Amino acid sequence: MKNVSKYTRGYFMPPVPCMKWTQKDHIEKAPIWCSVDLRDGNQSLIVPMSLEEKVAFFQYLCKLGFKEIEVGFPAASETEYTFLRTLIEQDLIPDDVTVQVLTQSREHIIKKTFDALKGAKQAIVHLYNSTSVAQREQVFRKSKEEIIDIAVSGAKMLKEQAAVTPGNFRFEYSPESFTGTEMEFALDICNQVLDVWQPDENSKVIINLPVTVQVSMPHVYASQVEYMSENLNYRENVILSLHPHNDRGCGVADSEMGLLAGGDRIEGTLFGNGERTGNVDIVTLALNMYAQGVDPQLDFENMPEVVEMYEKYTGMHVYERQPYGGQLVFAAFSGSHQDAIAKGMKWRDEKACEHWTVPYLMIDPKDIGREYDGDVIRINSQSGKGGIGYLLERKFGLDLPKKMREDFGYLVKGVSDHQHKELMPEEIHEIFMKNYVNIEQPLSLIKYHFDPNNELHAKIQMKYQDKVMELSGDGNGQFDAVNNAIQMGLNLSYNSLVYQEHALEIGSKSRAAAYVGFTDNENGKTYWGAGIHTDIMKASIKALVSAVNKMILDKTHR
């Protein structure tokens, strides 16, 4: 690749060898977990959560067993401030849960932070300032001494405000951009903060070592953690916390190695949500421990619900191959895999095995609320949309949207029920093609083009009930322009349009499939159509026309 010489290793190894952690082969106990879904996770969302969503998500995190939850940066905005006040004033924080808030080392921000915390039974106040070479030189343009002064003055202000604010407060300090900081300097600044706070057995403090940007391999971070762990002042009264981000895709590895190296606590999010590539995925990290016989002290026994709640509150999607949580992570599409799993389950029954050793399955799916069906999928009137959709995708390369699978599933089950027989894959494919794909009556596409001077203006020639029509429309994209032209030209009214497309990987690789669904504003019914063509735009338009035709025919036949 070009320009490789412009990149360098932006990290610092400890001044002495720190590799004792390599002598350990597993994590012996669960760390202290701190969810940062409501702060780090929320600030990374395209549309941040509303107050009601944040409250509901907070309550769900408590249900999962989190005892420390970072709820935001209350001095940053009125929304953040109001959220914290709502939790306190409505008594929504369980007695065994500690909320955590973030603050910069600035007097007015610290004062507002403590003002927001009034009435909290217990809270962690998290102070941070950036310490890396890049941040010191490029952003702050300050010397090491000036950076230390920011941290120390902030530590003093926290102590002063805690003394005059009712409540039980604990302190946390993060040398932000720790991984790009010289280790001797990181140790110095942390120790100077600790000298201000002077933790003891009854008032322990947290030193958090964030992988603000992942700039090294995981073993480097582990060595950095071990160096800090072995050289921090007041170590017996310091909780050493890790906050790995995932820029290199090594968030879980950083965390696991960091725990071996002396880490006591993890800050992360469900499914790794967070800025850029995200934070460490607590679900993966916790269930990795579980898979090795360590109780993670978090309740992930109903993983489908965890996924549902996460997607509901964040608007994010849990990837189908996401460890433990993805819909397909326990699905064995290979016949040999299915055979091995079935034989492994039979072995367990015969031998009454104490330990889980089934081939291809790290853990028993039932332990996290998932099921595994080792039988070959066969479709009849009792079949579900998932099996029908899977069959279409696996055998014919058709990956239908979730709601379209449901619509098609009901149709297939109705056909099977009416015919009183099992349907073969080719029959299911035929039903789909006949009822959804490239439907051309009563409306059909003749031709279309986009204005060369305005690619977002579509002109379409269509045939409707033997009459040729010239339609035109504008949109925020070419497909949107076509959609608007059809709606306006035919005086149709629908909303909630869903669009999805992909290349057909089975059969002809030169073809594309598109799916369109929308809800009729008049009767509230949802109509689906599909288009298959060598040109993706034509496939998309054919899908839209197919859905429109289904709506028109449905109204005509009523």
- Taking only the tens of pLDDT, the chain with its 558 residues reads 999 989 888 899 999 999 999 999 999 999 999 999 999 999 999 999 999 999 999 999 999 999 999 999 999 889 999 999 999 999 999 999 999 999 999 999 999 999 999 999 999 999 999 999 999 999 999 999 999 999 999 999 999 999 999 989 999 999 999 999 999 999 999 999 999 999 999 999 999 999 999 999 999 999 999 999 999 999 999 999 999 999 999 999 999 999 999 999 999 999 999 999 999 999 999 999 999 999 999 999 999 999 999 999 999 999 988 999 998 787 765 545 655 766 787 788 888 889 999 888 899 888 998 865 432 334 544 545 555 676 787 688 899 998 998 899 889 878 877 888 767 778 989 999 999 999 999 999 999 999 888 989 999 999 988 899 999 999 999 999 999 999 999 999 999 889 999 998 665 567 899 999 999 999 999 999 999 999 999 999 999 999 999 999 988 876
Strand partners, 454: 451
What are the residues whose beta carbons fall under 8 Å from the beta carbon of 4, sequence distance 6 or more? Answer: none
Domain that holds residue 413: 377-434
Instruction: Report d(CA 345, CA 339) in Å as an integer.
Output: 10
Domain-located, residue 9:
no
Domains contained in the chain, number: 4
User: Do 361 and 384 lie in a common domain?
Assistant: no
462 and 357 within one domain: no
| HSE-up (13 A, CA, CB side) for residue 20 | 11
Residue 32 lies in a domain: yes
pLDDT score at 508: 56
Q: Are 116 and 161 in contact (CB under 8 A)?
A: no
Give the CATH number, domain containing residue 155.
Answer: 3.20.20.70
| Per-residue pLDDT at 210 | 97
Has residue 551 been placed in a domain?
A: yes
CATH of residue 495: 3.30.160.270
* Cα 205 to Cα 124: distance, rounded to the nearest angstrom: 9
For 51, counting Cβ atoms within 10 Å of its Cβ (0-12 exposed, 13-18 middle, 19+ buried), the class is exposed
How high is the pLDDT of residue 339?
57
Q: Is residue 547 part of a domain?
A: yes
- For residues 217 and 10, give the distance between their C-alpha atoms in angstroms, rounded to a whole number: 11
**124 in the same domain as 52:** yes
Instruction: Please tell me the chain's helix, strand, coil percentages from 3-state DSSP, rounded to the nearest 5.
Output: 45, 20, 35
Claim to verify: residue 383 and residue 352 sit in the same structural domain: no
Q: Is residue 35 part of a domain?
A: yes
Residues 132 and 99 in one domain: yes
The verdict on residue 138 lying in a domain is yes
Q: Does residue 324 belong to any structural domain of this protein?
A: no
- Rounded Cα–Cα distance for residues 308 and 324 (Å): 14
In a domain, 422, yes or no: yes
Asked if 359 and 381 sit in the same domain, the reply is no
pLDDT at 376: 31
pLDDT for 402 equals 86
Phi, psi of 241 (to 5 degrees): -110, 150
Helix (H) or strand (E) holding 100: strand 98-104
- pTM exceeds 0.75: no
Cα separation, 339 vs 223, whole angstroms: 43
Output the CA torsion 112→116→119→124 (10° steps).
Answer: -90
Examine the domain organization and report whether 344 and 410 are in the same domain. Answer: no
Q: Are residues 395 and 360 in the same domain?
A: no
Residue 421: the pLDDT is 76
On the CB side of 531, CA atoms within 13 Å amount to 26
| 112 and 223 both lie in a single domain | yes
Are 428 and 452 found together in one domain? no
- Are 345 and 384 within one domain? no
Which of 361, 376, 391 lies at the terminal end of a domain, its last residue? 376
The one-character DSSP state at 422 is P
pLDDT at position 512 is 93
Confidence (pLDDT) at 394: 67
The predicted structure's pLDDT at residue 500: 94
Say whether both 370 and 259 belong to one domain: no
Q: Which of 280, 314, 348 is the last residue of a domain?
A: 314
Cα separations (Å) of 427 from 32, 168, 183, 343, 421? 54, 67, 66, 31, 11
- C-alpha to C-alpha distances, 530 to 408, 492, 514, 517, 547, nearest whole angstrom: 11, 19, 6, 9, 7
In one letter, which amino acid is 55? V
